[in-house]
Amino acid sequence: MITYDEKQQVFHLSTNKISYLIQVEDGGLLAHLYFGKAVQSYHGQFRYPRADRSFSPNPPLAKDRLFSFDTVLQELPGNPGDFRVPALELLHESGSSVSDFRFEDYEIIQGKKSIPGLPATYAMEKEASTLIITLKDQLYDIYLDLFYTVFDNQAVLVRSSRLRNESAETLAIQKLASLSLDFASSSFELVHLSGSWSRERMIQREVVAPGTKALSSRRGSSSHHENPFAALVAPETTEAAGEAYGFSLVYSGNHETTIERDPYEQTRVTMGINSQQFSWSLEAGNDFYTPEAVLVYSDEGLNGMSQSFHYLFQHHLIRGRFKYEPRPVLANNWEATFFDFNEEKIMEIAKEAKELGAELFVLDDGWFGKRDADNSSLGDWYEYEGKLSRGLAQLSKEIHGLGLSFGLWFEPEMISEQSELYKKHPDWAFHVPGREKTIGRGQFVLDFSRADVRETVYQQMKAILDHVQVDYIKWDMNRNMTDVYSVLLKKEQQGETAHRYILGLYEFLERMTTEYPDILFESCSGGGGRFDPGMLYYMPQVWASDNTDAVSRMAIQYGTSLVYPVSTIGAHVAAVPNHQTGRTTSLETRGNVAMSGLFGYELDLTHLSDGEREELKEQTNFYKSHRQLIQYGTYYRLKSPFEGNEVSWQFVAPDQSEALVFYSRVLAEASAPFHVLKLTGLNPEKSYRIKDKVVGGDELMNIGLYIDTEAWGDYASQLIYIEAAD
Ligand code: GLA
C-alpha cells in the first residue's frame, strides 16, 4: 500500500512486513525518514532532528542554520551542501556539475512498470503498487523520476530511476545510482560476497567503520570477484535472528556499492552502475534509465533476508516455461573429455548418463569452428565438420533416441584471433585504434554494443538451433573486458560502451529467449562470474562455479544462497582427485553437495566402477524424488562453513510436510564433541518421521539431533530426510 499524507508531506510505502517513509522536506528536498519493520501508520513524531553542525552549509531556501543537506537523510542525494557520497553527478554544458533537484510531483499506480531495455522484477496489478516521485532541477528542465515498488506480503522494495532531459542542452551523466539509502545513527556490520574464479561468493563480514567502503566490479561483468550484493546487519544478527537489510542490483555489468559511515554515525548505502569509466551523453529530449535495485528488510536474521530474495527472484524475476519446472538432471562432458571427444565417446557417456537416470545431455565446448583448444574458433558458430562423425544434428537425434534431451555450449560474446569471423572483421573485437589489445584465455571480447555484431552472431546461432534439436543452452562468457572502446561511437560517447554492451547483451537474450521459449538457458562465466539477478531474468539457472570440489562447493553454494534461490544454482558431481583442488572426497559427499543444487554429473561416466555406478544411480533416484523440495522448498542455512568445521542447511516444504537436511563435519576430529543440530522451519505441532523414529517438530527444532561423527573421517556428510508422520 502507498499513501501520501499531504499535510505532513510524507509518503508511506508499506506491506504487512515493511514500511518505507519519504518526506518532502524544506525547500522540496526529498528526504528519507525510515526503512524497516512495518509500522501501521506514521504519526509524524519521528521528524529527523536538526542541529547547527559547523561546516555543514544551509541550502538557499533554508529558514534557519539548523537545516543542512549534509546531515539530513535523503532519497537521491546530489545537491550542493551534502558532502557524503552522491547518488548522481551530471555535467552540464557550462562545465558545472552542480545539480539541485527538488520535489515536483508524484503518482501512485497499481502493479509495476517494466524498464525499457533492462531486466527488472515484474508484478501483476493486484500484487504490487508503485510510487513515482518526480524531481526537477532548479535551473534546467531536467527531471528525475524515482520509481518505488512494494510487493504485497513481501519484505521487499525495488527502486530505479529515469533521468529526462527536457532542456535544450546535452548533459553528461557521470553517475546515476539506482539506490541511495540513509540510516539514522546505528551500528552496522557489512556482509558481502567476494571471491575469484573457482572461489565465488565467499561471505565476508566486517564492522562498518567511519569512512567509505566500496564494493565493485570494473570487469565488464558482475564478476566472480564481487557480487552485486551487500547487506547491513546489526552486530548481533545471525542466520536465524536479528535485523538485516539486503541490497541487490539487477544488472550484469560494472557495478558499485558504497557504504559510508559519516561523522554523525549515519550510514549511507549507494548502489548502481559503476561510475568509474562511465559517462552517458544525454541529448536534449532523451532519457536514461538506471538498473533496478532490490531492498530487503529482515528481522529474522540472514535466513529471513535470503528467503525474501529467493521469493522475489523466483516469483517476480525469473520468467518463461522453466520458472516452476522441475529442473533436469544433466550430464555434461566438459570435465570428462575437455576438447578431446568424438561421436563415439559422447554417445558412450550419454548412454551411461541415461542408465544412471540423467534427463539431459550437454555437449560442452569444442563442437564448432575448428575448436580443439581454447585459442580458436569463437565467433564461428557452425559445426566442426568431421569432429562428430555423423554430425551434430544426427548426434542430437541419437541422444533424443536414448530418451535424453540435448544441450549445447555457446560463448556468443567472444571472438578468437584464429577464427573466420576475425579474418573478416578484426575490428569487431573491442580495441582502441592504434593500440595492442590485451588477450584473455586466448580470446577477445566482441563489441556487443554493435547491432551488426549481434545480428551476425544471432544468425549463426539461429542456423544451428533451426537444424539441430537443442533443448538447453549453456551460455558462457570466459574473460573480462579490456580495451572497452567502440569504433562506432563518438568520442564523447566512449564512456557508454560498457553499459551499451550490457544493453546489447540483454537485447540479444530477450530476442533469443522469445524466439526459442522451449530452450532452457543456463548462464555461465567461467562458472559463476556472472551470477546476478540481471542474468536470471533471461536464464533461470547458473553454473555456480568451475570448482567442483565438494568441500569448496559447500562454501560456494552456502555463500550463493545468501541471495539466489536453489532453483538457480547448478551443482554437479565430478571426478576425484578434484580437477581444481586435487582433493579426494567420497562420492557420497560429492553427491550430497550436488544434490543441494541443480544436480548433474561432470565426469567421465564410462570410467565408473560398478559400486560407483550403483551409488550414482541411487543418488539420482533420490534426487528426482525430492527435487521439488530441494529446488523450490524454503531454504535455511544452519551452520556456516565460514565459521566452523560443520556445514549444514535445510530445505523445508512450503506446507512443512517434509524437510531435507544436509550436514557435513568437514575435517575429522578425535575425541570430538557430540554435535547437536537444531532444525528449523518445521511445524512444532506436527510429528515427523526421521529415520525409524517419530518425533515432534518442536523436539527437532528446540532439542535438536545428536550427530555422532566420531568415526567419519574427513569430508564426511549426510542427507537426512524428514517427513510428517500423520
Ligand atoms: C568455462 C565453463 C566450463 C566449460 C568451459 C569450456 O570455463 O565454466 O564449465 O564450459 O568454459 O571452455
- Tell me the pLDDT tens digit for each residue of 420-431: 999 999 999 999
Cross-strand partners of 445: 414
Percentage of residues in the chain with pLDDT exceeding 90?
A: 95
- Tell me the pLDDT tens digit for each residue of 640-653: 999 999 999 999 99
Enter the pTM of the model.
0.98
User: Is pLDDT of 701 > 90?
Assistant: yes
Q: Is ligand 1 within 6 A of the CB of residue 410?
A: no
Domain hosting 672: range is: 646-724
pLDDT of amino acid 52: 92
Domain contains 718? yes
pLDDT of amino acid 41: 86
Active site residue 145: no
Q: Is ligand 1 within 6 A of the CB of residue 260?
A: no
User: Of the residues 294, 316, 338, which one is the last residue of a structural domain?
Assistant: 316
Q: Is ligand 1 within 6 A of the CB of residue 253?
A: no
Domain contains 516? no
Domain contains 119? yes
Domain contains 452? no
pLDDT of amino acid 155: 98
Domain count, the chain: 2
Q: Which of 400, 430, 471 is nearest to 277 (CA)?
A: 430
Distance CA 105, CA 548 (A): 53
Active site residue 466: no
Q: Is ligand 1 within 6 A of the CB of residue 182?
A: no
Which residue has the CA at smallest separation from atom 12 of ligand 1?
Answer: 365
Q: Which three cell numbers, joined as nine digits, stand for 635? A: 531454504
Confidence of residue 444 (pLDDT cuts 50, 70, 90): very high
pLDDT of amino acid 64: 84
User: Is pLDDT of 292 > 80?
Assistant: yes
**Kind of pairing between the strands at 18-24 and 10-14:** antiparallel
Indicate the residue type of 98: V
Burial 228-265 (b: 16+ CB within 10 A, else e): bbbbbbbeebebebbbbbbbbbbbbbbbbbbbbbbeee
User: Is pLDDT of 710 > 80?
Assistant: no
Find the mean pLDDT for residues 607-617: 98
DSSP helix, strand, coil percent of the chain (3-state; round to 5): 20, 35, 45
pLDDT of amino acid 44: 84
Domain contains 310? yes
User: Of the residues 316, 338, 372, which one is the last residue of a structural domain?
Assistant: 316
Q: Please tell me which residue in 546, 655, 692, 708 is annotated as part of the active site.
A: 546
| Torsion angles phi and psi, residue 27, rounded to 5 | 75, 10
- Tell me the pLDDT tens digit for each residue of 38-76: 998 888 887 788 899 999 999 887 778 999 999 999 999
Distance CA 413, CA 45 (A): 55
Q: Is ligand 1 within 6 A of the CB of residue 365?
A: yes
- The strand ranges marked E within 166-305 are 171-176, 179-183, 189-196, 199-207, 211-217, 229-233, 244-250, 255-261, 267-273, 280-282, 287-289, 292-298
Q: Is ligand 1 within 6 A of the CB of residue 527?
A: yes
The minimum-distance atom of ligand 1 relative to the CA of 364 is: 10
pLDDT of amino acid 642: 98
Q: What is the DSSP string of 401-429?
A: HTT-EEEEEE-TTEEESBSHHHHH-GGGB
> Is residue 660 within 8 Å of residue 721, measured between CB atoms?
yes
> Is residue 571 within 8 Å of residue 599, measured between CB atoms?
yes
Which residue has the CA at smallest separation from atom 6 of ligand 1?
Answer: 365
Q: Which three cell numbers, joined as nine digits, stand for 252? A: 550484469
- Tell me the pLDDT tens digit for each residue of 621-641: 999 999 999 999 999 999 999
Q: Is ligand 1 within 6 A of the CB of residue 21?
A: no
Domain contains 298? yes
Average pLDDT, the chain: 97
Find the mean pLDDT for residues 561-575: 98
Distance CA 592, CA 553 (A): 11
Confidence of residue 521 (pLDDT cuts 50, 70, 90): very high
pLDDT of amino acid 356: 98
| Torsion angles phi and psi, residue 203, rounded to 5 | -75, 125
User: Of the residues 316, 335, 351, which one is the last residue of a structural domain?
Assistant: 316
Within 8 A by CB and 6+ apart from 671, the residues are none
What CATH number is associated with residue 684? 2.60.40.1180
| Torsion angles phi and psi, residue 558, rounded to 5 | -65, -50
> Is residue 155 within 8 Å of residue 119, measured between CB atoms?
no
Find the mean pLDDT for residues 649-676: 94
What CATH number is associated with residue 264? 2.70.98.60
- Tell me the pLDDT tens digit for each residue of 537-559: 999 999 999 999 999 999 999 99
Find the mean pLDDT for residues 292-298: 98
Q: Which of 508, 547, 542 is nearest to 525 (CA)?
A: 542
Find the mean pLDDT for residues 473-483: 98
Within 8 A by CB and 6+ apart from 362, the residues are 330, 331, 332, 333, 406, 407, 408, 409, 472, 474
Please give the torsion angle defined by the CA atoms of residues 379, 385, 389 and 392, in that order, rounded to the nearest 10 degrees: 40
User: Is pLDDT of 673 > 90?
Assistant: no
Distance CA 548, CA 544 (A): 9
Q: Which residue has the higher pLDDT, 670 or 13?
A: 13
Question: How many angstroms is it from 304 CA to the middle of ligand 1?
Answer: 33
Domain contains 525? no
Domain contains 437? no
Find the mean pLDDT for residues 414-421: 98
- Tell me the pLDDT tens digit for each residue of 325-379: 999 999 999 999 999 999 999 999 999 999 999 999 999 999 999 999 999 999 9
Find out whether the peptide bond into 577 is cis, omega within 30 degrees of 0.
yes
- The strand ranges marked E within 509-585 are 520-523, 541-543, 569-574
pLDDT of amino acid 712: 80
**To test ligand 1's pocket by mutation, which of 199, 368, 409, 545 has the most ligand atoms within 8 angstroms of CB?**
409
Q: Please tell me which residue in 471, 476, 532, 549 is annotated as part of the active site.
A: 476
Indicate the residue type of 112: K
